Chains A and B, each alone.
Chain A
Amino acid sequence: MKTFIKLSFIYFLLLPLKTYAVLDIKITQGIEEPIPIAVAIFGWSQASSVAPIDMSQIITADLTRSGRFDVMDVQDLPQSPTEFDAINFSDWRKLGMENIVIGNLVLTKSGNYDVSFRLIDIYRKKQIAGFRIPAKPNLLRRVAHQISDIVFEKLTGIEGAFNTRVAYITVKKENKKKIHALHIADADGYNIKKLVESSEPLLSPSWSYDGKKIAYVSFEGKSSSVFIQDILTGSRTRVSKFEGINSSPNWSPDGAHLALTLSKDGNTEIYIMDLTTKSLKRITKHDGIDTEPVWSPDGQKLVFTSDRSGSPQIYEVVIKNGTPKRLSFEGTYNARPRYSPDGKSITLVHSVGNSYHIAVLNLDNGYISVLTDGPLDESPSYAPNGSMVIYATTGRRGGQLAAISVDGRIKQRLGLHQGDVREPAWGPFLK
């Protein structure tokens, strides 16, 4: 805890100059014909001082990291216009540039900021998008991500997911003891916040749909419990501590229920807990393993992992009345399902033998397409725009996070400076 406070303090000190990053995200593979774009240095109203944040640098990093853009290096920019009329279109055209983002940062009398930006099509000399966004000082990074989101959506047709967060578990060894921690960070790896630290295992972080709470499993006290923690205040409630396993929490889209796995009635079964009354509804009844329930985006169904057929496979059950129906048939091992935001596919851990891969199960035709090389990939979760899947991969240096686009064309590595990182869960869009 002390180190955390110290770190946050250092972080605070560095904030105006350079934000402290721990999750280092690198694009290892992008698309073949990325969209050319330039992001001009933003104008700043207090010319006598340094701007509190380099907006163009954050936007440049976001777009580059997406693997879909070829963003011009800042030192190659022929000019950094801050107004439409100042753009020298012919210079940009000569460089083959197609799009440019320009903007201004203005300090207001109240001590807050006004951020304005325009996305301009260089060939048509036309503005594609333009917004002015007021921001409190601590939200400037978020505004930069919102700008990236708008640019991304206008140029790719895909909703951006830069203004989002990721939760994950870290494990590091200190004096031969393992320290487990649950963190959240912005999707670009900045702004890391530790939510829980424990000498006992922590696992299965699950975001509420409003992004304000996280449910997780903790072994503190030498047995498993499910907790719900408020992200802003850090206050938490233990919602489940029955005999045996208490695990695999997953929020209903309406935020009123939690699906979870309990073994209190003999072996692992799936239940739904009403979070107001804490009453339980049992969903499965089978002497095989039933676990990893996940709510469909429409709130009507759960998918889960069961080995009732002899090996772990994915099943679906209609909550109201259903008998479980098997969804996965390819492969000897299919587990840890997560729905895509549109509910049309499921990402899962897939194996046909000795190697474990992240795959996508198409719910229309039942086909499984394998996305990653393995050999020990796990815990996949969709970005809220459905374009990427974040997952954990085990290599020589232990657990690392990685992300891959659902078409397999873009790959990212998210490196931590030390220790194991695992169980990433991509949070919802920030409002």
Chain B
Amino acid sequence: MTIRLFFVIGLAMLLLGCSKDQVKEEEPVEVTDLNADSAVDSSEDGAQTFGAEDESSSAFSQLDDPQSPLSVRIIYFEYDSSEIRSDYRSTIEAHSLYLQQNPNTSITLEGHADERGSREYNLALGERRAKTVKQQMLLLGANSSQIRMVSYGEERPASDDHDDASWQQNRRVEILY
């Protein structure tokens, strides 16, 4: 009985979209049993919801919250540009704040470019993109020792096709925790 009840709560939470606080309330009892017994019934999303039980051992962090601006881990750029578009401001602010609040956490900023033009120039361009992001983060409170940079230029494309859509995806800085 209890088990079924919790399953219903679980599903309800899934539908509501579970923020960190909501998940906390779910913490108590029998979550493990619940998982074991009814995982078969749950959808893929349901399984994700139950995964949040880890939070009771405090492993859950804002980083895993899909609603948080921290969930944005890729910053895209215009052609031959390393200027950060204004729509990424909240993303960078959130990561900077997180780094400030978690001084033992460090990240790697991986700079990338699209395939057009020369490879070595693109390597430098990828680094400049990563560097621009790093400088923003430092201004917003992160510490230099928390941020490592690496540029792969055009050598590690997110998409292997040779068109505008791919190039857009490839001009990026990835924030890796």
**Residues of A near any B CB (own CB < 8 A):** 201, 203-204, 219, 222-224, 244-245, 247-248, 261, 263, 267-268, 289-292, 305, 307, 311-312, 333, 335-336, 349, 351, 356, 376, 378-379, 394, 423
Which 10 A-B pairs give the minimum distances between C-beta atoms?
A201-B155, A336-B118, A335-B118, A289-B124, A268-B124, A248-B120, A292-B120, A291-B124, A335-B121, A291-B120
Known: A247-B123, A335-B117. A376 touches B149 (CB 8 A): no
**A268 close to B118 (CB less than 8 A):** no
**B118 close to A378 (CB less than 8 A):** yes
Question: How many chain-B residues does the 8 Å CB contact rule pick out?
Answer: 22
**B127 close to A305 (CB less than 8 A):** no
CB pairs A–B below 8 angstroms (30 shown): A201-B152, A201-B155, A201-B156, A203-B153, A204-B119, A204-B120, A219-B152, A223-B150, A224-B150, A247-B123, A263-B124, A267-B124, A267-B127, A268-B127, A289-B124, A289-B128, A291-B123, A291-B124, A292-B118, A307-B121, A312-B118, A333-B80, A335-B117, A336-B118, A336-B119, A336-B121, A349-B118, A351-B117, A379-B119, A394-B162
Q: Which of B115, B119, B156 has the most chain A CB atoms closer than 10 A to its own CB? A: B119
User: Which residue on A lies nearest to B108, using beta carbons?
Assistant: A222
In the docked arrangement, what's the CA distance between A204 and B155, Å?
A: 12
User: Which residue on B lies nearest to A311, using beta carbons?
Assistant: B80
CB within 8 Å: A-B pair count = 84
In the docked arrangement, what's the CA distance between A284 and B153, Å?
A: 21
In the docked arrangement, what's the CA distance between A289 and B127, Å?
A: 10
**A267 close to B128 (CB less than 8 A):** yes
Q: Which of B127-171 contact A (CB under 8 A)?
A: 127-128, 131, 149-153, 155-156, 162
Using A267-B128, A291-B121, A336-B118 as known contacts, list a sample of 20 further A-B pairs with CB atoms less than 8 Å apart, ordered by residue number in A: A201-B156, A203-B120, A219-B155, A245-B127, A261-B124, A263-B124, A263-B127, A267-B124, A268-B124, A289-B125, A291-B123, A292-B118, A292-B121, A312-B117, A333-B117, A335-B117, A335-B120, A349-B118, A351-B117, A378-B117
Instruction: List B contacts of A263 (CB < 8 A).
Output: 124, 127
In the docked arrangement, what's the CA distance between A418 and B117, Å?
A: 23
When the two chains form the complex, which single residue of A203, A267, A394 contacts B115, counting CB atoms closer than 8 Å?
A394
Q: Does B89 make an interface contact (CB < 8 A)?
A: no
Instruction: List B contacts of A219 (CB < 8 A).
Output: 152, 155
Q: Does B24 make an interface contact (CB < 8 A)?
A: no
Instruction: List A contacts of B156 (CB < 8 A).
Output: 201
The dominant DSSP class at the B interface is mixed
The dominant DSSP class at the A interface is strand
**A356 close to B120 (CB less than 8 A):** no
In the docked arrangement, what's the CA distance between A53 and B162, Å?
A: 43
**B116 close to A356 (CB less than 8 A):** yes
Instruction: List B contacts of A245 (CB < 8 A).
Output: 123-124, 127, 151
**A349 close to B120 (CB less than 8 A):** no
**B152 close to A378 (CB less than 8 A):** no
In the docked arrangement, what's the CA distance between A344 and B91, Å?
A: 50
In the docked arrangement, what's the CA distance between A219 and B151, Å?
A: 10
User: Which residue on B lies nearest to A290, using beta carbons?
Assistant: B124
**B152 close to A289 (CB less than 8 A):** no
When the two chains form the complex, which single residue of A201, A290, A349 contacts B117, counting CB atoms closer than 8 Å?
A349
**B162 close to A376 (CB less than 8 A):** yes
Instruction: List B contacts of A351 (CB < 8 A).
Output: 116-117
Instruction: List B contacts of A244 (CB < 8 A).
Output: 127, 149
User: Which residue on B lies nearest to A354, using beta carbons?
Assistant: B116
When the two chains form the complex, which single residue of A289, A311, A378 contacts B119, counting CB atoms closer than 8 Å?
A378
Instruction: List B contacts of A394 (CB < 8 A).
Output: 115, 162
- Chain A nearest Cβ from B58, distance in angstroms: 30
Instruction: List B contacts of A247 (CB < 8 A).
Output: 120, 123
Instruction: List A contacts of B119 (CB < 8 A).
Output: 203-204, 336, 378-379, 423
- Chain B nearest Cβ from A213, distance in angstroms: 20
- Chain A nearest Cβ from B63, distance in angstroms: 21
In the docked arrangement, what's the CA distance between A312 and B116, Å?
A: 12
User: Which residue on B lies nearest to A266, using beta carbons?
Assistant: B131
User: Which residue on B lies nearest to A350, using beta carbons?
Assistant: B117
In the docked arrangement, what's the CA distance between A268 and B131, Å?
A: 11
**B124 close to A222 (CB less than 8 A):** no
In the docked arrangement, what's the CA distance between A261 and B124, Å?
A: 9
In the docked arrangement, what's the CA distance between A356 and B118, Å?
A: 9
**B131 close to A267 (CB less than 8 A):** yes
User: Which residue on A lies nearest to B111, using beta carbons?
Assistant: A245
Instruction: List B contacts of A312 (CB < 8 A).
Output: 80, 117-118, 121
In the docked arrangement, what's the CA distance between A30 and B123, Å?
A: 36
User: Which residue on A lies nearest to B126, using beta carbons?
Assistant: A245
Instruction: List A contacts of B116 (CB < 8 A).
Output: 351, 356, 376
Instruction: List A contacts of B131 (CB < 8 A).
Output: 267
- Chain A nearest Cβ from B19, distance in angstroms: 35
User: Which residue on A lies nearest to B131, using beta carbons?
Assistant: A267
